[in-house]
Amino acid sequence: MPRRARVHKVRAIFAAPALPLLCGSMLALLALVALVSGPLLDLDSAYHSPVAHMLESPSVLSILSPSHARNVTRVYSKRATAEAVWASKLAPYFYGCSSPKSQSSRQLSKVQSNGYLLIQTSGGLNQQRTGIIDAVVVARILNVTLVVPQLDHKSFWKDSSNFSDIFYEDWFINTLAQDVKIIKELPPKFNNKVYSMRVPRRCKPEYFLSKILPILRKKKAVRLGKFDYRLSNRLEEDLQKLRCRVNYHALRFTPDVETMGQRLVERLRQNSGRYIALHLRFEPDMLAFSGCYYGGGEREIRELGMMRKRWKTLHKRNPDKERRNGKCPLTPEEVGVMLKALGFQSDSHLYVASGDVYGGDSTLAPLKKMFPNYDTKETLALDGELEPFTQYSSRMAAIDYIVCDESNVFITNNNGNMARILAGRRRYFGHKRTVRPNSKRLGSLFLAKPNMTWNMFALKLRKVQRGFMGEPKEMRPGRGQFFENPSACICEKSNVKENIKVLQQQEDMLDDHEEDGEQPLSFLNGSEDEDDDLDVDPDLEDITFMQEEDMDREDDELGVADGGDARNITSQQE
Ligand SMILES: *[C@@H]1O[C@H](CO)[C@@H](O)[C@H](O)[C@H]1NC(C)=O
Ligand SMILES: *[C@@H]1O[C@H](CO)[C@@H](O)[C@H](O)[C@H]1NC(C)=O
Ligand SMILES: *[C@@H]1O[C@H](CO)[C@@H](O)[C@H](O)[C@H]1NC(C)=O
Ligand SMILES: *[C@@H]1O[C@H](CO)[C@@H](O)[C@H](O)[C@H]1NC(C)=O
Ligand SMILES: *[C@@H]1O[C@H](CO)[C@@H](O)[C@H](O)[C@H]1NC(C)=O
Ligand SMILES: *[C@@H]1O[C@H](CO)[C@@H](O)[C@H](O)[C@H]1NC(C)=O
């Protein structure tokens, strides 16, 4: 099953499981006060303080002082590597910033509302999240009132939950009160007059203004169907910042879900205080879709072949080519080997977020052997504790989202929505380490491994992973999806350039010590062979999305977005 959010400040309130109801109403009250008396929390400064605190810590400063850097010894570097793998040294120099640049862009329109926007999301939990976020931004662009989004009940994940079953509805409405007017239900007088339509993927704001606004003015209430990734990835800065306010501050899970997730986090932290979370996603649908081969012979070919039939538009794939192109997730064993090579000790605690792993226990056994402190939500939960959630795939996914987000290190093993959205979120909240396997180059490295000493292999692997470790600025601004690389919402502290230089010297020294003929890649330059995956990246998390992706590839950002027609799929009077 897929997985998934919260805001840190008020979390402590939920810690006592018996209190959620009471606290829920308290929060609603607080939010109401905020409505009347201005912002309750300054989004940016709320995040400043912990970072400022970290900066004052002597250990960070000593690492960064230039004289120290010059004295780096090999022994010191090795120890530093073992620790550095848990957290980026540069992280304290960056912080998430989502307050609008110009306050005027935050004032609600004085103009009468141009109408009511309804949307129906599509896909699994995280795909739906992108639709919800973009719906708020579209409502802002059009000066319309947004009706709380309707969730997708028909996707592959078959979850009948409504918005308020998963997300904290009042918090959502109140937190965004200065940006967009959001109401829970359409006023009854419009109920039978909603005009339904769809827009292409990744439309620019001008498209909504020129094509949708006139319809809204005429019909008053318009519902946009299958609303996921319908708004352009690139937007002006204040709209991107609004995206961040929705994604990182307004959109929280319900207290029930939040409390459950935090309980698991506490149990994991009881062990050694820190843990790695792995979004394995080595699930049959994922493997079938990717068209990769994992050495399971006839049986694997038959089983995955059957699953592939679900996607009628999928063309035949060459497994070797897919692997070379980095489209194949690593096997659980390969993930374990990667973790060891990166420097994680075998007593590290590992939380695995995953649905049914293809091949089951036997596929997982090598990973468990390498990292015996292995947990899932099922092993951490007490008897019956998960019961209220198990029937709802999105709520289960939300629990995984929370545990993965709270982790010290998050390992993605796929390019799906959850992996990308969490990677972006972790950048925003202090650049917590996120490791994306550089599968394009790891594939051939694993093939060559039998002929290498372990040290050589580990060294090469660490090099291959440069630029894929969740370091600040490792992806250039504007590169990739905004949800993964929310560069408009990442700010630098003033002294950042000096310190980056020092750290870079350290890194170079580290490379000098480890005699290896290859040119060291600068870890701040990003990776050259990184996918710019805007148009070739079928979402692996949701099947309806994948089907459509194959059909309307041409709808991408540079294509139809500003020239196409609103596809008039249905125009019924509901
Ligand atoms: C670095 O080494 C030099 C000489 O090798 C020494 O004088 C200096 O005190 C050292 N600095 C630190 C911070 O250890
Ligand atoms: C929305 O409201 C703002 C502020 O009142 C105004 O500048 C803008 O033109 C309006 N846009 C639309 C599409 O109504
Ligand atoms: C969601 O809302 C619909 C309509 O109000 C209702 O029939 C359905 O039972 C709700 N789903 C859940 C899981 O409560
Ligand atoms: C490993 O080395 C042997 C002998 O040197 C060679 O025949 C073989 O092709 C190499 N295998 C790989 C995967 O490089
Ligand atoms: C990294 O960036 C620096 C300056 O920004 C440049 O001089 C250097 O050549 C780059 N290195 C690589 C490997 O691209
Ligand atoms: C949608 O179809 C209806 C009737 O079929 C038509 O009147 C309307 O103009 C169409 N809308 C768009 C945006 O093409």
Note the pLDDT tens digit of each residue in 382-435: 999 999 999 998 999 999 999 999 999 999 988 888 999 999 999 999 999 999
CB contact at 8 A, 341 and 438: no
The pLDDT score that the predictor gives to residue 548 is 36
How far is Cα of residue 399 from the mean position of the Cα atoms in its chain? 14
Q: HSE-up of 312 (CA within 13 Å, CB side)?
A: 3
Q: What angle do CA 563, 566, 572 make, to 5 degrees?
A: 170
Question: In whole angstroms, what is the distance from residue 277 CA to residue 361 CA?
Answer: 19
Mean pLDDT of 283-302: 80
Identify residue 278 by its one-letter amino acid code.
L
Ligand 6 pocket member 224 (CB < 6 A):
no
The one-character DSSP state at 196 is E
Identify residue 230 by its one-letter amino acid code.
R
The yes-or-no verdict on residue 313 having pLDDT over 80 is: no
The pLDDT score that the predictor gives to residue 504 is 66
Look up residue 14 and give its two tokens.
């939920």
pLDDT band at 283 (very low <50, low <70, confident <90, very high): confident
Among all ligands shown, which has an atom nearest to the Cα of 476?
Answer: 5
Q: How many residues does the chain have?
A: 574
Q: How far is the CA of 173 from the centre of ligand 4 (A)?
A: 62
CATH node for 105-252+544-562: 3.40.50
Q: Which of 151, 162, 186, 393 to mutate to test the pocket of ligand 3 (most atoms within 8 A of CB)?
A: 162
pLDDT band at 317 (very low <50, low <70, confident <90, very high): low
The one-character DSSP state at 313 is T
The pLDDT score that the predictor gives to residue 423 is 96
Question: In whole angstroms, what is the distance from residue 447 CA to residue 525 CA?
Answer: 27
Look up residue 489 and give its two tokens.
């919402």
Ligand 1 pocket member 76 (CB < 6 A):
no
Ligand 2 pocket member 114 (CB < 6 A):
yes
How far is Cα of residue 232 from the mean position of the Cα atoms in its chain? 18
How far is Cα of residue 171 from the mean position of the Cα atoms in its chain? 21
* pLDDT: which is higher, 493 or 197: 197
Ligand 3 pocket member 196 (CB < 6 A):
no
Question: In whole angstroms, what is the distance from residue 543 CA to residue 537 CA?
Answer: 13
Look up residue 346 and give its two tokens.
């075998």
The yes-or-no verdict on residue 77 having pLDDT over 70 is: no
What percent of the chain is predicted at pLDDT more than 90?
49
CA of 449, closest atom in ligand 4: 13
Of 353-357, 426-430, 539-543, 552-556, give the lowest mean pLDDT range: 552-556
Ligand 2 pocket member 110 (CB < 6 A):
yes
Q: Decide: helix, strand or coil at residue 540.
A: coil
Backbone angles phi, psi at 203, to 5 degrees: -75, 145
* pLDDT: which is higher, 560 or 407: 407
The one-character DSSP state at 208 is I
CB contact at 8 A, 166 and 254: yes
Q: What angle do CA 397, 294, 437 make, to 5 degrees?
A: 55
Question: In whole angstroms, what is the distance from residue 479 CA to residue 467 CA?
Answer: 13
The pLDDT score that the predictor gives to residue 507 is 61
Ligand 2 pocket member 142 (CB < 6 A):
yes
Ligand 1 atom 2 nearest Cα? 71
Calculate the alpha carbon distances from 192 to 172, 216, 227, 353, 406 in Å: 26, 15, 21, 43, 44
Ligand 1 pocket member 59 (CB < 6 A):
no
| SS3 per-residue string spanning 102-135 | CHHHHCCCCCCCCCEEEEECCCCHHHHHHHHHHH
Task: Share the mean pLDDT of the chain.
Answer: 77
Ligand 3 atom 13 nearest Cα? 161
The pLDDT score that the predictor gives to residue 114 is 87
Residue range(s) in the chain whose domain bears CATH number 3.40.50: 105-252+544-562
Q: How far is the CA of 286 from the centre of ligand 4 (A)?
A: 32
Ligand 1 pocket member 71 (CB < 6 A):
yes
Taking the model in full, what pTM does it have? 0.74
Ligand 2 pocket member 111 (CB < 6 A):
yes
CB contact at 8 A, 302 and 293: no
Of 125-139, 148-162, 181-195, 231-245, give the lowest mean pLDDT range: 148-162
CA of 566, closest atom in ligand 6: 13
Residues 6+ apart with CB under 8 A from 332: 280, 282, 357, 363, 364, 366, 367
Q: Computed over its alpha carbons, how large is the radius of gyration of the chain?
A: 24
Q: How far is the CA of 329 from the centre of ligand 4 (A)?
A: 25
Sign of CA dihedral 568, 569, 573, 574: negative
Mean pLDDT of 498-502: 69
